[in-house]
């Protein structure tokens, strides 16, 4: 019971406050940024020289302000927003009016989660295992070569990396499409569909796994090199424990802890972290959707995506804090 009173309750209050402040900030920041979603839409319509007369534009401005729900005072809009957050109905997207934000999320979220979560997990596992082993055997030649190669790959700008992959595998050796997925509105699950999805997602996934993996590799290698020098590893070795067992049970397991924190946070980046990759490969991801929303002053869409993002990240950080003592027995909740 002391745990509940001294730790759990304050931690939950902190959680609620983080979510509250985050959502409030996301509500107010765009509204003060000097961009008017109604005017952005007018600009879009006029950009290609579409002909509308002044009377039409004036009535359109009125209608849009009404439809976008931007008529009332800021406080009224703020309260409406909270009602929407609790009902998970974020209203229509402004820029993609009248498509509801919820529908956009339904279309884009599976693609992003499918690609991003898979490749993040894959890169985390590969990066940590390879990095861990390379760290343990850091004296060996192969470890040094691998380290050097990864060191050079890591700083390559993602855009360049993606375009080079495209040139290689979509042009010089055209195995994969240069952009987009060829799925129609009536999706029939069959073999061709699966192949199409795999082909369309392969290059973005490859670049995410490599570009993400090298970061995990470097971090893990440093951590392992550190843990390796701990006394208990030394004792184990002196005590004649098999090397394989030392690597996996003693060293990797211990070095893994900080990496788990990082993984949770990395997964939270699903909403904006892979924008460039989505762009280069014309992938229907949520990062691109959010970015377009931000640049067009699409308050509802921005709100919908960020509320999801805030809940996901705040909740996973909370769970992590609660579960940490289970993973590392040396830590107690205080």
Partner 1 sequence: MEAFRELFQDYRFAVGFVIFAFLAFLAVLSFFSPYDPIRQLQVPRDRPPSWSHILGTNSKGQDVFWEATFAIRNSLIVALIAGILSRIVAVLVGFLSGYRGGTLDRILMGLADGLLVIPLFLILVMVAMLLRGSLTLVNTGLLLAFFGWAWDARTIRSQILSLREREFTKTSVLSGNGTMALVTREYLPFTTPLIFSTLINNIAWAIGMEIVLAILGLVRLEIPTLGTTLQWAITYQAMLLGHWWWIMTPVTLTILLLVALYWLSVSVSEYLDPRTRIQRIGAQ
Partner 2 sequence: MRRVLLVVGLLMFFAGVAFAQLPGNVPRNETLIVDQLTGRVGTPSNFNLWAGWRWQDRGLQQLVCEPLWTVDYATGEIICGAASELPQYNEDFTKMTVKLRQGVYWSDGVPFTADDVVYTIDLHVKTPGLLYHGPMAEFVDKVYKTDDYTVVVELKKPNSRFHTHFLDRWGCLRIMPKHIFEKVEDPVTFEFNPPIGCGPYKLLDYDPAGFWTLWERREDWQRTPTGMLYGEPKPKYVLFQAFETEEAKILAMLRHELDMAQFAPEGLRVVLERGETTRAWRKEWPWVVNIDPCITGIVFNNMVEPYNNKDVRWALTLAIDMVDYMATAFDLMAPPSPIHLPPVPAYIEAFFNPMEEWLKNFELDLGNGEKFKPFDPEIPQRIAIAAKERGYPVPEDPKVLRELFGIGWWKYAPDVAEKLLKKHGFTKGADGKWYLPNGNLWKISIVTDTNPAHHHYRNAMAAAEQWRRFGIDATVNATEAFNSLHLMGEFEVGTMWPAAEPWGAGVDLSRTLEPWRSSLVAPIGQAVTLGPGGAARWSDPRLDEVIAKLEATDPFADVETTRLLGIEALKIVVAEMPTIPTYGYCGAVAWDEYYWENYPGAENPYTQPYQHWPNFKYMLPFLKPKK
* Residue 16 near partner 2 by CB under 8 A: no
Is residue 39 involved in binding partner 2 (CB under 8 A)? yes
Residues 67-126 close enough to bind partner 1 by CB under 8 A: none
Measuring CA to CA, how many Å separate 131 from each of 152, 181, 215, 256? 15, 34, 9, 11
Which residue's entry shows tokens 């693609």?
111
CA neighbor of 281 nearest in space, from 193, 175, 182, 205: 205
Residue at token pair 């060996």? 140
Q: Of partner 1, partner 2, none, which one sits near residue 261, judging by CB under 5 to 8 A according to partner kind?
A: partner 1
Q: How far apart, in whole angstroms, are the C-alpha atoms of residue 318 and residue 312?
A: 10
Please report, as residue ranges, which positions from 220 to 259 form the binding site for partner 1 (by CB under 8 A): 222, 225-226, 229, 257-258
Q: Which does 305 bind (CB under 5 to 8 A by kind): partner 2, partner 1, none?
A: partner 1
Smallest separation, CB 155 to partner 1 (Å):
4
16 binds, among partner 2, partner 1, none (CB under 5 to 8 A by kind): none
170 within 8 A of 176, measured Cβ to Cβ: yes
Interaction of residue 8 with partner 1, rule CB under 8 A:
no
| Binding of partner 2 by 280 (CB under 8 A) | yes
Q: Which of 220, 297, 302, 310 binds partner 2 (CB under 8 A)?
A: 297
| Token pair of 244 as six digits | 């394989």
Which residues does 207 contact at the CB level (< 8 Å), separation at least 6?
A: 158, 161, 162, 165, 277, 280, 281
Q: Which is nearer to partner 2, 236 or 276 (CB)?
A: 276
| Token pair listed for 251 | 């060293």
Identify the residue among 8, 9, 25, 33 touching partner 2 (CB under 8 A): 33
Residue 175 binds which entry of partner 2, partner 1, none, CB below 5-8 Å type-dependent: partner 2
**Smallest separation, CB 197 to partner 1 (Å):** 26
Contact 64, 38 (CB under 8 A): yes
> Binders of partner 1 among 26-45, rule CB under 8 A?
26, 29-30, 32-35
Q: Report if residue 276 touches partner 1, rule: CB under 8 A.
A: yes
**Closest alpha carbon to 314 in 263, 259, 260, 265:** 265
Positions that interact with partner 1 (CB under 8 A): 10-11, 14, 17-19, 21-22, 25-26, 29-30, 32-35, 151-152, 154-160, 163, 167, 215, 218-219, 222, 225-226, 229, 257-258, 261-262, 265, 268, 271-272, 275-276, 290-291, 294-295, 302, 305-306, 309-310, 313-314, 317, 324, 328, 330-332, 334
């Amino acid at each position: 019971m002391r745990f509940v009173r001294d730790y759990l309750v304050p931690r939950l209050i902190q959680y609620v406050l983080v979510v509250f402040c985050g959502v409030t900030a996301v509500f107010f920041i765009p509204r003060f940024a000097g961009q008017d979603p109604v005017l952005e839409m007018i600009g879009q319509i006029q950009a290609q020289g579409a002909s509308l007369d002044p009377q039409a534009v004036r009535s359109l401005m009125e209608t849009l302000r009404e439809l976008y729900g931007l008529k009332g005072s800021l406080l009224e809009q703020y309260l409406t927003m909270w009602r929407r957050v609790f009902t998970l109905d974020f209203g229509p997207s402004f820029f993609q009016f009248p498509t509801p934000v919820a529908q956009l999320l339904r279309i884009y979220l599976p693609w992003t989660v499918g690609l991003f979560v898979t490749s993040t997990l894959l890169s985390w596992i590969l990066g940590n295992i390879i990095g861990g082993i390379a760290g343990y055997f850091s004296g060996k030649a192969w470890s040094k070569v691998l380290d050097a190669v990864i060191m050079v790959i890591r700083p390559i700008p993602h855009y360049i990396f993606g375009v080079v992959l495209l040139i290689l595998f979509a042009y010089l050796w055209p195995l994969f499409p240069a952009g987009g997925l060829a799925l129609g509105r009536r999706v029939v699950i069959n073999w061709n569909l699966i192949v199409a999805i795999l082909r369309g997602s392969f290059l973005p996934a490859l670049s995410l796994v490599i570009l993400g993996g090298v970061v995990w590799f470097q971090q893990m290698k440093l951590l392992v090199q550190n843990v390796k020098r701990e006394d208990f590893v030394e004792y184990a070795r002196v005590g004649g424990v098999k090397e394989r067992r030392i690597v996996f049970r003693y060293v990797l397991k211990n070095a893994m802890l900080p990496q788990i924190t990082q993984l949770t946070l990395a997964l939270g980046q699903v909403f904006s972290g892979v924008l460039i990759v989505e762009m280069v490969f014309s992938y229907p991801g949520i990062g691109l959707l959010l970015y377009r929303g931000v640049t067009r002053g699409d308050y509802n869409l921005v709100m919908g995506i960020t509320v999801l993002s805030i809940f996901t990240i705040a909740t996973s950080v909370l769970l992590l804090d609660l579960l940490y003592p289970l993973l590392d027995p040396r830590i107690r909740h205080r």
